[in-house]
A and B are shown apart, each in its own frame.
Chain A
């Protein structure tokens, strides 16, 4: 990566947008470095698509500034921003062949036909569709259409590639295949990419950093591993990965009493008063079966057992509102059956809590 290219970055500063009285985005800031792939993750209506559309110039922002390569592009129309976009719905022009679709951005730039054709063939090669250059969009599968849309977006050598849930209309197997292809191409072309999705597995598997959004605000942005292991808010802890919510009580001295154990409260956890009833947020892999029923474990009944290949998930009834899930290797789980009594222990050294 050249040093000049390394300077290019996206700065979104304090963006806000309202739909009537509803705030879709509030004081949202994000910085992206060159060649970085950032995903925005969050529930429906959290504002992630709004960010992408504002960056692409398809929707205006009511407050804040947008900088690309250090240049303020806040008021610039979308056709002057040089950003490639892949949409959730299939968006190829139906009257054009695959090759013509890929060439479109170059055609509007009045690039010579030979150069256009050469570039489109290179990109179709990249998405493994060079043999379908003369096909029309309706002759392609959904996955193929999205690959062509990706090639079309990349043809203009965009400053930023915007992916608006491009895999959500595809079936599970194709989705995995295409997301890996997107990441490969993104790394190959070193294109700064903003990827919006509601699928956390998708976001975690392909991104350099993942931003979790809630109610128009960015709750946390970090690498997938940090996000999963060190969530900064209870929302992130609950939203990313599977989290058990187990009734607990604040024990003073910065500890929480849960499943008959006393565990340190996470530094990121909200402040709580002694004796306050809360919900401890515990990942399934941070629970284990105790060897014996003692005062530092909690007994329960195995209600469900789901085989997940190398892992098996047990659902244990501890007498709380919801089942508590625990992951263990399928080898270990062989001796456990539904209906067995087991004792659960928490293995993590600190816990985050949410309101009870």
Chain B
């Protein structure tokens, strides 16, 4: 009798498990065909040396100076743009968080729009403003400030950091605001009633509580900058060697003989860097939620 009951329970449990899994099927299919399958193909192609031979020649090439330099530049751009936008965005988010609800909703809307306004239009907007003959540059020249004479150029790494900040800062405002919303007013009041100053509160409570969320947000910005393509392409036309631009150029057909799979190897390299960033991002989020 007991066995029959157990068996019945097991059967009903099996059915309910199936019903629980069904809603996940569409997402799983998308994940499989648009994420796993392309990665597998890239990985396979990166090893394909033609005529049925597989090997690591593309990877050996990837580890040579020009391509390692592309990785270094990409990492440098991602790191500095994420850090700059992260700090500025966090400060803006902090002041917006303390402002009226009207300003909060306006900023949320504005940030949502600006965070998604990268690409070619953004590049041309910056060329019109900060290019050698751009509006702002000309205006500054009229008041005696020539930023180009001091070595600045929009078509450089510094220029790219400036342009990336345009969509990275609002992105930071968007992703960091929830962490600020989680700050309880009672913490500040408890600090005050216990005799703590605002500086002590900032040092011992505010910064440690917000740091994991700040780190997670920075990593997200890093990943976003690392994979950005259109803005850099439109702005520099490939003069700054970034990994996505190199891959783009390989896809466009600028392929050296026997290096057809180099683009795939570089893509695998990007996937590896992104995966490492995402692992740290996951840890930061868990750290933040653990609070």
Contact = CB atoms under 8 A, between A and B. Distances in A.
B261 to A, nearest CB: 48
Interface string B158-198: 00000000000000000000000000101101111111110
B60 interface: no
A104 B186 contact: no
Interface string B207-231: 0110000000000000000000000
B290 interface: yes
A58 B186 CA distance: 10
Given A89-B184, A89-B186, A138-B290, A84 B193 contact: yes
B290 A58 contact: no
Contacts of A89: 184, 186
Given A94-B209, A94-B291, A58 B193 contact: yes
Contact of B193 (A56, A96, A107): A56
Contact of A108 (B184, B186, B189, B195): B195
Contacts of A84: 193-194
Contacts of A162: 193
Interface string A101-138: 00011011100000000000000000000000000101
A81 B193 contact: yes
B255 interface: no
B175 to A, nearest CB: 20
Contact of A105 (B195, B205, B208, B209): B195
Contacts of A83: 193
A82 interface: yes
Contacts of A82: 195
A57 B192 contact: yes
B200 interface: yes
Interface residues of A, number: 32
Contacts of A80: 195
A109 B194 CA distance: 9
User: Which of B189, B290, B291 gathers most chain A CB within 10 Å?
Assistant: B189
Nearest to B289: A138
A91 B209 CA distance: 13
Interface residues of B, number: 19
B194 A108 contact: yes
Interface string A37-73: 0000000000000000000111000000000000000
Contacts of B193: 56-58, 78-79, 81, 83-85, 153, 162
A30 interface: no
Nearest to A95: B208
Contacts of B186: 87, 89-91
Contact of B209 (A90, A95, A138, A153): A95
Contacts of A79: 191-197
A152 interface: yes
Contact of A95 (B184, B194, B291): B291
A77 B192 contact: yes
Contact of A93 (B195, B205, B290): B205
User: Which of B186, B193, B197 gathers most chain A CB within 10 Å?
Assistant: B193
B189 A78 contact: yes
Nearest to B212: A95
Contacts of A105: 194-196
A347 B159 CA distance: 90
A91 B194 contact: no
A87 B194 contact: no
16 contacts: A57-B192, A58-B192, A79-B191, A79-B193, A79-B194, A90-B186, A91-B186, A91-B187, A96-B204, A96-B205, A104-B196, A108-B191, A108-B194, A152-B190, A153-B193, A162-B193
> 3 tightest A-B contacts by CB?
A91-B186, A105-B194, A94-B291
Interface of B: 184, 186-187, 189-197, 200, 204-205, 208-209, 290-291
